[in-house]
């Protein structure tokens, strides 16, 4: 009886086609078809928008293209680091100056925010009541005040509270601080400076090679290598040898008071100082919380075990906690680096000539809004992707690999 029922059920089931499952019933095939249809729809939408935009621009006699980049800009840029610029230069060179100014403040801000954020994050875990609560106060204040207001505050402090140029503060020999910014002495141009830079790059390569050798030796012998003195010897010694070999030039270009302002030396504008301070202190508040949470995420048993073998608190932090916490800290810190870079576009509010400021001026003079905005978007996209790629590479290097 049971066999008859089972046989009836088998005969009641539909028979499969000789050719297998139909194409429209295969989930993988359907997924590919849906993706092709969506991609085709996006391409058609983009093509329609581009065609409609070009037609509207032509109807209004608005020129298009990037040929304007070769034309004379006709406007000055208040701060052009590493690249000389004059009003007679092209719009393309103006964009390049703005990009360099953005990279300058973003890279310095990333380095300083990392240092300050790490110190504040560790200070929040201090057993000293005053230190821990001051660090907590810093984090709460910086994280809860909008960055734009902080930029206005620092700019007002620098331009409002600092003395005028003639009463500039002589911070140290050859360094003057006033409302017009920071003036400091620099070495006069000399051919040996290029060789010193090359020697420094060679020293960096030597430090990397020594670090790898020291780590292999530590894995072999268990002895912690000395890194500070060899690194200092390479990074300072090789450039010093190149300087001695080049004649040891000591001539300095020291700023001196002229008729209305300082002459000579190098200058950092108040806009750059305010922007760098605002970006650094604001982002450091977020990095501090990331560092604190990363250290707390390391199991408490690691701290107890390290203390049990006689390590000091500083060594426990440096050798046990931070190396393990780093794997937790790096991914969210990458987002803060990207935020700092993009937040640098607020520089236009305090008059720092970054990429957005130069782009806005070019847009107003040429009327080519689409091209100018596209250049700015492409620059920020490239910078952000470069930071992400580097941080992802670093995160992969420090990741734990199961063997």
Q: What is the assigned CATH class of domain 91-146+272-398? A: mainly alpha
E-strand ranges in 192-288 read 252-253, 256-257, 262-263, 266-268
Query: 362 CB contacts (<8 Å, ≥6 apart)?
Result: 68, 73, 91, 94, 95, 368, 372
The DSSP secondary structure of 72-130, one letter per residue, reads B-----S---SS---TTSBHHHHHHHHHHHHHHHHHHHHHHHHHHHHHHHHHTT-S-HH
Integer CA distances (angstroms), 171 to 162, 184, 319, in order: 12, 10, 38
Token output for 254: 């020291």
Q: Which residues pair with 186 in a beta bridge?
A: 253
Question: Cα-flanking dihedrals φ and ψ of residue 65, to 5°?
Answer: 105, 175
pLDDT confidence of residue 20: 58
Contact 75, 94 (CB under 8 A): yes
pLDDT confidence of residue 62: 66
pLDDT confidence of residue 298: 87
This prediction's pTM: 0.81
Low-confidence residues of the chain, pLDDT below 70?
Answer: 1-24, 57, 61-63, 400-403
**How far apart are the C-alpha atoms of 102 and 104, rounded to whole Å?**
5
Could you tell me where the DSSP H helices lie in 246-368? 270-296, 300-308, 313-315, 322-343, 355-366
pLDDT confidence of residue 52: 82
- Domain segments of the chain as ranges: 20-62, 91-146+272-398
pLDDT confidence of residue 316: 84
pLDDT confidence of residue 4: 52
pLDDT confidence of residue 384: 94
Instruction: Of 289, 271, 269, 267, give the one whose Cα is nearest residue 279.
Output: 271
Q: Give the up-direction half-sphere exposure of residue 155: CA atoms within 13 A in the CB hemisphere.
A: 18
pLDDT confidence of residue 25: 72
Question: Cα-flanking dihedrals φ and ψ of residue 87, to 5°?
Answer: -60, -25
Go through the chain and tell me how many residues it has: 403
Helix axes 322-343, 91-123, angle to 10 degrees: 140
Token output for 191: 């051919």
């Amino acid at each position: 009886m049971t066999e008859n029922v089972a046989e009836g059920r088998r005969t009641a089931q539909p028979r499969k086609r000789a050719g297998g499952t139909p194409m429209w019933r295969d989930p993988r095939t359907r997924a590919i078809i849906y993706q092709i249809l969506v991609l085709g729809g996006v391409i058609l939408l983009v093509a329609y928008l581009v065609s409609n935009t070009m037609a509207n621009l032509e109807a209004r006699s608005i020129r298009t293209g990037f040929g304007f980049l070769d034309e004379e800009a006709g406007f000055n840029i208040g701060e052009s680091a590493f690249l000389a610029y004059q009003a007679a230069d092209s719009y393309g060179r103006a964009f390049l100056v703005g990009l360099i100014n953005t990279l300058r403040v973003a890279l310095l801000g990333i380095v300083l925010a990392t240092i300050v954020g790490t110190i504040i994050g560790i200070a929040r875990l201090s057993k000293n009541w005053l230190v821990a609560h001051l660090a907590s106060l810093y984090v709460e204040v910086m994280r809860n005040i909008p960055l734009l207001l902080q930029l206005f505050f620092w700019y007002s402090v620098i331009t409002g509270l600092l003395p005028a140029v003639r009463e500039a503060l002589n911070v140290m020999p050859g360094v003057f601080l006033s409302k017009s910014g920071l003036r400091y002495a620099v070495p006069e141009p000399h051919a040996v400076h290029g060789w010193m830079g090359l020697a420094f790059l060679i020293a960096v390569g030597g430090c990397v090679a020594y670090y790898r050798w020291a780590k292999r030796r530590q894995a072999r012998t268990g002895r912690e290598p000395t890194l500070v003195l060899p690194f200092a010897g390479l990074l300072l010694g090789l450039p010093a040898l190149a300087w001695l070999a080049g004649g040891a030039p000591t001539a300095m270009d020291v700023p001196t008071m002229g008729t209305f302002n300082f002459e000579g030396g190098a200058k950092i504008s108040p806009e750059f100082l305010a922007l760098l301070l605002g970006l650094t202190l604001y982002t450091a508040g977020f990095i501090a919380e990331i560092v604190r949470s990363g250290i707390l995420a390391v199991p408490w048993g690691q701290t107890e075990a390290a203390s049990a073998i006689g390590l000091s608190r500083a060594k426990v932090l440096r050798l046990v906690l931070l190396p393990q916490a780093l794997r937790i800290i790096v991914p969210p810190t990458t987002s803060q680096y990207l935020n700092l870079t993009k937040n640098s576009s607020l520089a236009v509010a305090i008059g720092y000539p970054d990429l957005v400021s130069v782009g806005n001026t070019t847009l107003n003079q040429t009327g080519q809004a689409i091209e100018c905005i596209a250049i700015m978007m492409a620059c920020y996209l490239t910078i952000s992707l470069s930071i992400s790629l580097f941080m992802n590479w670093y995160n992969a290097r420090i990741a734990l690999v199961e063997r």
